[in-house]
């Protein structure tokens, strides 16, 4: 895959932590503003509710170390399944406790294995949309952060964790509002937020995309 279109210099770890800290605080504000009915709405993230997505965002700070080995064993060392189980456990906590933990840990430099700070920033942005879109809330995402996440999502570090293997093969993704593009082949174009969600497997955005690569992407997302 070709490198993304030239843009601003790559953010430093310090830059990334500033972005992550702000996104955590914004996520906490969003969670606090939701009603109990909204928290129970299905999100865009698999079978999770909005509440479970919120719990996932705070799970690295809410989980106790003694939980991890039993969770991994029950999940047969499948990290995605273990994460889902962990989110379910944290989701039992009161909502104000979940948002408070996000604020308290806004500047905690948590680095997920392999994906690091780039993965943490992208996780916050994608899951923010998993919450906002089903509730009809505007995304209000920052263009520089969207670009950073798009650059990460087309990097090999994202494959297998954020992006399904083979998902982007033979496709060129273009974010028309950022002047960003990456890849070679049939074109998938749209607003940066929709492209980010398409890269991470959210089929809801297909109607917002154009280009001769959209039918191919639709088939892949249906598998």
Q: State pLDDT tens for residues 101-153.
A: 999 999 998 877 789 999 999 999 999 999 999 999 998 899 999 999 999 99
| Chain mean position to CA 212 | 26
Quick one: DSSP state of residue 174? E
Burial class (CB in 10 A: 0-12, 13-18, 19+), 153: buried
* Coil/strand/helix, residue 26: helix
Residues 19/128, Cβ–Cβ less than 8 Å: no
**Angle, CA 217 vertex, CA 216 and CA 222 arms, to 5°:** 100
C-alpha–C-alpha distance, residues 202 and 217, integer Å: 11
HSE, side-chain direction, 13 A CA sphere, residue 47: 6
pLDDT at 64 over 60: no
Query: What is the tens place of the pLDDT at every residue in 2-52?
Result: 667 656 678 999 999 999 999 999 999 999 999 999 999 999 998 889 999
Q: State whether residue 172 is helix, strand or coil.
A: strand
Closest C-alpha to 152, from 163, 166, 164: 163
* Residue 207 CB-half CA count within 13 A: 1
pLDDT of residue 3: 62
Q: Residue 62 above 80 pLDDT? A: no
User: What's the pLDDT band for 60 if we cut at 50, 70, 90?
Assistant: confident
∠ CA 101-15-131, rounded to 5°: 45
pTM of this structure: 0.88
The arithmetic mean of pLDDT across residues 93-98, rounded, is 91
Q: Which residue would you say has higher pLDDT here, 71 or 166?
A: 166
Q: How far apart are CA 223 and CA 106, in angstroms?
A: 37
Asked if the model's pLDDT at residue 93 lies above 90, the reply is no
Q: How far apart are CA 119 and CA 112, in angstroms?
A: 7
């Amino acid at each position: 895959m070709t490198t993304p279109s030239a843009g601003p210099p790559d953010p430093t770890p310090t830059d990334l932590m500033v972005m992550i800290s702000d996104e955590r605080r914004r996520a906490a504000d969003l969670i606090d503003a939701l009603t109990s009915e909204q928290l129970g709405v299905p999100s865009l993230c698999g079978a999770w509710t909005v509440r479970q997505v919120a719990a996932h965002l705070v799970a690295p700070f809410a989980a106790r170390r003694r939980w991890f080995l039993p969770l991994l064993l029950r999940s047969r060392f499948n990290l995605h399944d273990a994460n889902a189980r962990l989110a379910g456990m944290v989701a039992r906590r009161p909502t104000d406790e979940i948002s408070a933990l996000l604020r308290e840990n806004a500047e905690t430099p948590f680095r997920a294995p392999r994906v690091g700070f780039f993965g943490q920033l992208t996780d916050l942005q994608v899951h923010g949309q998993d919450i906002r879109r089903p509730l009809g809330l505007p995304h209000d995402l920052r263009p520089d952060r969207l670009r950073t996440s798009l650059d990460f999502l087309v990097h090999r570090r994202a494959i297998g964790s954020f992006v399904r293997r083979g998902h982007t093969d033979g496709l060129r993704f273009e974010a028309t509002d950022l002047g960003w593009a990456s890849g070679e082949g049939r074109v998938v174009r749209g607003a940066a937020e929709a492209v980010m969600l398409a890269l991470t497997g959210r089929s809801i955005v297909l109607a917002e995309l154009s280009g001769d690569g959209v039918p191919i992407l639709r088939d892949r997302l249906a598998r």
